[in-house]
Amino acid sequence: MSTLLIPIQQPLQPKLPTIEGNVDYNTLREQLARIDELVVSSGIEEQAITESFEAWKARSKFENISPKTQRKIQLHARRAFRCNIARTLMMEDYRDFSIRLADSPLFQSFCCLVEIDRVQVPAKSTLQRYSQWSEVELVDKLINRLTQQGHLNCQKLGLQDPLDLQSAYLDSTCVKANIHYPVDWVLLRDGTRTLMKRVILIRAQGLRHRMEAPQEFIRRMNILCIQMTHARGEKESKKQRKKLLRKMDKLIDQVAKHAKRYRQILEQDWEKTEWTRGQTDYMLRGLDNILDQLPQARRQARERIIKEKQVPSQEKILSLYDPDVQVIVRKKAGAEVEFGNSLLLSESQQGVILDWQLFQDMAPNDSRLTPETLERTEENLDIHIEAVAGDRAFDSQSNAKLLNERNTYNGLCPRDPKELKERKKSWKFKRLQRRRAQSEGRIGIMKNKFLGRPLRSKGFKSRQLAVGWAVLTHNLWVMARLAQPEEEEEKRPAA
């Protein structure tokens, strides 16, 4: 049974000032006003609030929830929904967007933060919690509902024409992770810094054991890293780099022993500190994460530099802090190899993203993804895709046979040049391929305007949720730019 929402009266808001002479501001203001109409008329805001409250209710231990508590959760769910959209649209971090909210009446109005006697702006930590407020499954439901409403009830959403969902244009890319270039010996520097900084925090709580100052170990490792960097251009560079790596390996061994000793002390005497048990467990997990990976990182560095052997990609550690990063061979200019996760996108004729999938492990070949994405799109949107287009990576004999069986026009670019020359005689194929070229631009818009390069979210689940919010915000942005009925445009006041 669906939860009955408590009606929340819209607070009185002061009228936004009229800004003259700034076209960009007026354009942004009109976009936000149009997005506000879309989220309300499509019902995705109400759905987000309802399902967020149901999820919170399932997690809570309260049997009877008071109306006051329910109203509070509904307000936070609404603000989380709107703040995530606005922050993704502006592509700002939590701190900068919190400052923008405090300074901008426009965003205060869109995020429903204005009350009669005050303006309560969420801090950066609250915005970070808002970003994790919903699960990725809920965001997918909102995306699908918005697309369905634009296709079936275009008048309700104020669109002049319904969304065209007959054709799907496929493309894939790499979402770069927020890590430095994974050089083997740099992992040893990262481990030293993290372990010694946590040791400094433990010592500040009064738990001490005889050792040199932790900053001294960080200083020594930094000196060795600088020498390792400059050794590449010197004579006998291989011999010099091997010598430096042996020193780094010896130093990291001392660091690991001190960190293990302090971990044991903290586990035994944590009650003597000012930390709670939760804070102590957080500190212990951070130490364990680095200590567990150090043996493999040291072995990897010795294999690559001292023994001069290649390490299989599936056995490599690319980052001590993000285990779900993959090595993706792109073989493109300026991007021979990228580090992140593969992303598959399927867009419509008007640029609305119909389906997306971020892969935690190594993604299959593009040709194997075609049947799955078509089936998932038709199931989620309750439509039949009449034509599909993509580059030659999506083409295969099995895909051609599948598209023929399901009565879907095959607009995939053939791998065989002779077959491509023959298929160019079809006007429909040429039109689909000409339109498919715009998918490269769509990839650029998603990565540069809505995801950021690189995507700053840590961990695969956070990156997956961030991509979901980016797709939802992108579709709202696209639909806000589509043509509206002439009568509606006449009724809208000038910015």
Q: Tokens 């598959």 label which residue?
A: 344
Q: What is the pLDDT of residues 58-87, one digit of tens each?
A: 887 777 788 888 888 999 999 999 999 999
- 235 vs 130, higher pLDDT: 130
Q: What is the mean pLDDT of the chain?
A: 89
Q: Domain ends where: 252, 287, 315?
A: 315
Please indicate, yes or no, whether residues 327 and 459 belong to a single structural domain of this protein: yes
58: domain range? 23-134
Q: What are the tens digits of pLDDT across the range 145-163? A: 999 999 999 899 999 999 9
Q: pLDDT value at position 9?
A: 63
pLDDT in tens, 197-215: 999 999 999 999 899 999 9
Judge if 98 and 241 occupy the same domain: no
The answer to whether residue 335 scores a pLDDT higher than 70 is no
- Return the pLDDT at 378: 92
Q: Look at residue 8 and tell me if it is in a domain.
A: no
In this structure, the answer to whether residues 304 and 382 fall within a common structural domain is no
Q: Kindly tell me if the per-residue pLDDT of 298 is higher than 60.
A: yes
Q: How far apart are the first and last CA of the chain?
A: 43
* Domain match, 288 and 410 both: no
Residue 156 lies in a domain: no
Summarised one tens digit per residue, pLDDT across range 90-143 is: 999 999 999 999 999 999 999 988 877 778 899 999 999 999 999 999 999 999
Q: Are residues 36 and 173 in the same domain?
A: no
pLDDT > 70 fraction of the chain, expressed in percent and rounded: 94
Confidence of residue 472 (pLDDT cuts 50, 70, 90): very high
pLDDT-based confidence at residue 326 (cuts at 50, 70, 90)? confident
| Rounded CA separation 157/151 (Å) | 10
Q: Within this chain, do residues 170 and 82 fall inside the same structural domain, yes or no?
A: no
- Half-sphere exposure (Cβ direction) of 11: Cα atoms closer than 13 Å: 16
Kindly state whether residue 144 falls inside one of the protein's structural domains: no
Name beta bridge partners: 335.
332
Domain's final residue, options 299, 315, 331: 315
What's the pLDDT tens digit per position in 353-390? 999 999 988 888 888 999 999 999 999 999 999 999 99
- The answer as to whether 14 is a domain residue is no
* Long-range contacts, 364-369 (Cβ 8 Å, 24+): 365/393, 366/170, 366/172, 366/390, 366/391, 366/393, 366/394, 367/393, 367/394, 367/395, 367/396, 367/398, 367/399, 369/170, 369/172, 369/344, 369/394
* Domain match, 328 and 310 both: no
Section 183-197 average pLDDT: 91
| pLDDT at 1 > cutoff 50 | no
- The answer for residues whose C-beta is within 8 angstroms of residue 65's C-beta and 6 or more apart is 57
Quote the number of domains for the chain.
3
Do 217 and 356 have their domain in common? no
Residue at 436 is within a domain: yes
Q: Mean pLDDT over residues 236-259, rounded? A: 93
Asked whether residue 173 falls in the same domain as residue 266, the answer is no
Residues 296 and 366 in one domain: no
Q: Is the pLDDT of residue 259 over 50?
A: yes
